[in-house]
Amino acid sequence: MSKSTPHIKSDNIKIAETILLPGDPLRAKYIADNFLEDAIQFNAVRNMFGYTGKYKGKEISVMGSGMGMPSIGIYSWELINVFGVKNLIRIGSCGALQENLKLYDVIFGIGASTNSNYAAQYELPGTFAPVASWKLLEKAKKVADEKNIKVHIGNILSSDIFYGDNPDAILKWKKMGILGVEMEAAALYMNAARAGVNALCILTVSDHILTHEETTPEERQTAFTKMMEIALELAE
């Protein structure tokens, strides 16, 4: 029987145990068209495109996750708990928050601080620290080293706010060593922790909050390639 949810209808097409999750569904299509062999589309519900194919002979899937923690929270929960996905790798963009970071730099989020209330659902007697899977992080670092790709590893911020009343508030996170700001990783890390599976967030710096430098959409297409190549090597 074909598995389906309100947001994913796979039509008996297998979703691999390892999946890449770019925010933009068109970037998922780009990866399927340019990196995967024998790619088959398994989802088009709400135009959140998903594909399964092979990379260097290993089965892997890729699907858009949308923007924000509610969106990736829904898709990652369904992928894990309904479709049996074991390794979830977010590949996205971020705004840099440290002077030593440059446009196009790659960041591995070892932890994901957040201003979200996502963890309240677990009714924990304290504050939960969302962190990446060491298994995926260690392997990703080895791949980056083999490909001679410089990466920054540290804490990132998953924010619920893109446009805020106080734009300078983000600078308080800089004081705590936060490398970059995005909007999804914390929810992904929490869903993975709750289900006992693996998750990792790999980011490319698309703009710099301190210098106000930014990439164009065309430049981002090229800048994202290094991140994609690392993530694709994580297929098992």
The full length of the chain comes to 236
Judge whether 208 is annotated as a binding position.
no
pLDDT for the residue 167:
84
Task: Quick: pLDDT tens for 34-60.
Answer: 999 999 999 999 999 999 999 999 999
Those residues whose C-beta lies under 8 Å from the C-beta of residue 52, and which sit 6 or more positions away, are 13, 14, 15, 16, 39, 40, 42, 59, 60, 61
pLDDT for the residue 3:
86
Judge whether 194 is annotated as a binding position.
no
| Average pLDDT of the segment spanning 170-182 | 97
Q: Chain-wide mean pLDDT for the chain?
A: 95
Whether 109 has a pLDDT exceeding 90, the answer reads: yes
Share of residues in the chain with pLDDT > 70 (%): 97
Query: Is the separation of the CB atoms in 143 and 235 below 8 Å?
Result: no
Please report, for the chain, how many H helices and E strands are present, in that order: 6, 9
Q: Which of 65-79, 129-143, 222-236 has the lowest mean pLDDT?
A: 222-236
Buried/exposed code over 99-135 (b: 16+ C-beta within 10 A; e: otherwise): eebebbbbbbbbbbbbebebbeeeeeeeebebbbbee
pLDDT for the residue 221:
60
Judge whether 227 is annotated as a binding position.
no
224 pLDDT band, cuts 50/70/90, is confident
Catalytic residue among 11, 38, 105, 207: 207
**Closest to 132 measured CA to CA, from 153, 101, 147, 160:** 153
| Average pLDDT of the segment spanning 186-201 | 98
* Superfamily (CATH H level) for 18-232: Nucleoside phosphorylase domain (3.40.50.1580)
| Average pLDDT of the segment spanning 203-224 | 85
Q: Give CA–CA dist 70/68, Å, rounded.
A: 6
Report which DSSP code applies to 12: T
Residue 38, SS3 per DSSP: strand
pLDDT for the residue 236:
86
pLDDT for the residue 217:
76
Query: Is the separation of the CB atoms in 206 and 102 below 8 Å?
Result: no
Task: Quick: pLDDT tens for 14-41.
Answer: 999 999 999 999 999 999 999 999 999 9
If you write DSSP's letter for every residue of 137-151 in order, what string do you get?
HHHHHHHHHHTT--E
pLDDT for the residue 222:
58
Task: Quick: pLDDT tens for 78-102.
Answer: 999 999 999 999 999 999 999 999 9
Residue 105 catalytic?
no
| Average pLDDT of the segment spanning 152-159 | 98
Query: Is the separation of the CB atoms in 204 and 95 below 8 Å?
Result: no
pLDDT for the residue 223:
62
Judge whether 93 is annotated as a binding position.
yes
Structure tokens at 98: 């440290």
At 65, the amino acid letter reads: S
11 pLDDT band, cuts 50/70/90, is confident
pLDDT for the residue 77:
98
Q: Give CA–CA dist 62/84, Å, rounded.
A: 14
180 pLDDT band, cuts 50/70/90, is very high
Q: Where are the domains of the chain?
A: 18-232
Judge whether 220 is annotated as a binding position.
no
